[in-house]
Amino acid sequence: MQYVKLGGSDLTVSRISLGCMSLGVEHAENARLIHHALDLGVNMLDTADLYDKGLNEETVGKAIKGRREKVILATKVGNQWRSDGSGWDWNPTKSYIKQAVHESLKRLQTDYIDLYQLHGGTLDDPTEESIAAFEELKQEGHIRHYGISSIRPNVIRKWLQEGNLTSIMSQYSLLDRRPEEQTFDWISEAGVGVLVRGAVAKGLLAGKPSKAYLGHSQESIQKLQDQMLAMGIKSSHIAIQFALKNPAVSTVVMGASSEKQIRENVEAITASSLSEKEWEDITSLIPAVRYENHR
């Protein structure tokens, strides 16, 4: 495993992190998978209070009991479940963030969160209020660092300007290169780290049948898939290595539902890679789409 500092923080994170959203509901099985990832050198676990109505945080907390000091624990806040369980509402207010953190800490069975992330964001949010909540939580010792999970350029820029962020979680892949347009430059200039999600584009870059995606036709995606197969390197490894090639990226957050998937994700670090000419050939097959919405 390889490790890097996350932005300008004191967090040293593995280049492959475990996205816990894909875990099931069996605590023993989830603990087995998490322990396997930790044994392979993965040290960052990413969850959210939204996932499984808090059960995901609970299962992560059970799994890391006794191994907490070896884990960089990341979770998210901002999506508040309705009391009747019918869905959730966006709530980035200071009062909610400061209430929700204690519920997450209880479920995670810890007294601090390494990275607390706002789970979304809009330009209509009370951003100053949200930032004040995170800053107070840092001062109180409940969290060590904070960041946001967003694909919206103007939201990202606002948070970079007004907050003391450690990270931005962003969707990024061979099929979604929108962050290259502006946001990665802004993030790098601010000394903030990037957590990549969606590196295998819902499995399209890891063996799933081709279909239209983000404006790309099924035919063009099939062409990319065929070219990746012809490279003689596992497609998922190419996809992960593509994301890690960008200097703005600190870690790629990969979900997994089996030990085999965890091993394959980790093996992308040491697997053979493409030559620069091959990278050029691959990236030329799919045009880099631009942001049209989510400003």
Per residue in 112-169, pLDDT (tens digit) is 999 999 988 888 889 999 999 999 999 999 999 999 999 899 999 999 999 999 999 9
Q: What is the CATH number of the domain that holds 59?
A: 3.20.20.100
Q: How high is the pLDDT of residue 240?
A: 97
51, 116, 146, 213: the catalytic one is: 51
- Is residue 291 domain-resident? no
The structural domain count of the chain equals 1
- Is residue 66 domain-resident? yes
Q: How high is the pLDDT of residue 101?
A: 96
- Is residue 197 domain-resident? yes
Q: How high is the pLDDT of residue 54?
A: 82
Average pLDDT in the 184-189 region? 94
Q: How high is the pLDDT of residue 88?
A: 79
- Is residue 150 domain-resident? yes
- Is residue 213 domain-resident? yes
Q: How high is the pLDDT of residue 23?
A: 92
210 class by beta-carbon count within 10 Å (0-12 exposed, 13-18 middle, 19+ buried) = middle
Told to judge if 172 belongs to the known catalytic residues of this protein, a careful annotator would answer no
Q: How high is the pLDDT of residue 215?
A: 85
The pTM assigned to this predicted structure is 0.92
pLDDT tens-digit series, residues 3-16: 999 999 999 999 99
State which residues form the domain around 42: 3-284
- Is residue 265 domain-resident? yes
- Is residue 295 domain-resident? no
Average pLDDT in the 228-239 region? 93
Q: How high is the pLDDT of residue 295?
A: 59
User: How much of the chain, in percent, has pLDDT values that exceed 90?
Assistant: 77
**pLDDT grade, residue 211 (50/70/90)?**
very high
pLDDT tens-digit series, residues 242-274: 999 999 999 999 999 999 999 999 999 999 999
- Is residue 293 domain-resident? no
